[in-house]
Homo-oligomer: A and B are copies of this chain.
C-alpha cells in the first residue's frame, strides 16, 4: 500500500473509532457538537498513524492500538482548539474552516478543549484491549508528553518568545516540547500497546521519532514561506508576519532545507535494524519532508 493510502486507511480507522467513543447524549448537545467539530476537522491523523504503524511493525493488532490512537488525537485536537483562541494564536481559520471559537464561541471552545483532553485519558483507562499495566504505561506516556513537561510548556514558551530572538538551541527545545514530544509519544504508545519491544528497537524508534518530529517542524516553517495559502490552510508568510522564530529565519531558507535533508536521513538511518516491515515508517518520513501542506 502507498503511504498516502495507508494514511487514509488509518485515518478512517481512527475516525470510525473516535465516532464510537464520542458521547451520544449530553445535557448540553452544543458542547458535544463542538467536540465533534474539533475532532473531525480534516486532520491528517499523523499521530494515530504512527501509533498504528509502530504497533503493527512490532507484531501488534490494529484493535490493540485503537484507543491509544484515538486518545493521542484527542490531545492533539484539544491543543489546536486552545492554540487558536484569541488569547493565544488568534486564528480564525484552520485547514480552511472556521476555528472552534469562531464556529461556536470562546467559552465553548475552551470547554470543548478541556473535555477532549479529559476524554483522552478516559479512553485509555477504559481500553478493553489492554492489561491494567499497559493502560497505566500508556497514560504515563501521554500525560508526560502533553502537559507541563511537554506540549503545553512548548506552547507557553512559544507565546513567551513571539517577537524575541531565539537561538537555534532554544528553537529546537521549543519544538521538541511543542510538537516533538507528542510525535515521540505516538511512537512510544505504539510500542507500548503491542507485544514486547526490545531496548534496541525502542532506541531506534526514539531516534526515528525525534528526527521526524523536528523535520515536521522545519518543513512547516519552509511551507510558510514557499507554500500556497490555500494548500497550507493559513495565510502564506503568517509566521514571518507574526515575527515568530523559524528555522529559515535562523538558518536561511537553504540552511533550513539542508537541515530537513539531514533529519530525513537520520530518520531513515534509525530504522536500519528493522526489515521491510518498517517500510511504511520510511515512507512516512518521506511524506513528511515532501508534503506541500
Contact = CB atoms under 8 A, between A and B. Distances in A.
Interface of A: 23, 26-28, 30-32, 35, 78-79, 82, 85, 87-88, 105-108, 110-111, 113-115, 117-119, 121-122, 124-126, 131-133, 135-136, 139-140, 143-144, 146-149, 152-157, 159-160, 173-174, 177
13 contacts: A31-B157, A32-B148, A87-B105, A87-B107, A88-B110, A111-B152, A115-B152, A115-B153, A117-B117, A121-B139, A122-B140, A126-B140, A136-B136
Nearest to A147: B118
A148 B135 contact: no
Given A121-B121, A125-B136, A139-B121, A153 B114 contact: no
A30 B155 CA distance: 12
Contact of A115 (B106, B147, B173): B147
B30 A156 contact: yes
Contact of A160 (B28, B87, B113, B174): B28
A35 to B, nearest CB: 6
Of A31, A78, A79, A147, the most chain B CB neighbours within 10 A belong to A147
Contact of A139 (B26, B139, B152): B139
Contacts of A31: 148, 152-153, 156-157
A40 to B, nearest CB: 15
Contacts of A27: 153-154, 157, 173-174, 177
A122 B107 contact: no
Contacts of A136: 125, 132, 135-136
Nearest to A141: B125
B119 A107 contact: no
B119 A118 contact: no
Contacts of A152: 31, 111, 114-115, 118
A156 B107 contact: yes
Contacts of A160: 28, 30
Given A148-B119, A156-B31, A88 B114 contact: no
A122 B28 CA distance: 28
Given A114-B82, A118-B143, A106 B125 contact: no
B125 A110 contact: no
A133 B160 CA distance: 40
B153 A26 contact: yes
Contacts of A82: 110-111, 114
A156 B119 contact: no
A156 B105 CA distance: 11
B148 A125 contact: no
B114 A117 contact: yes
A28 B23 CA distance: 35
Contacts of A79: 114
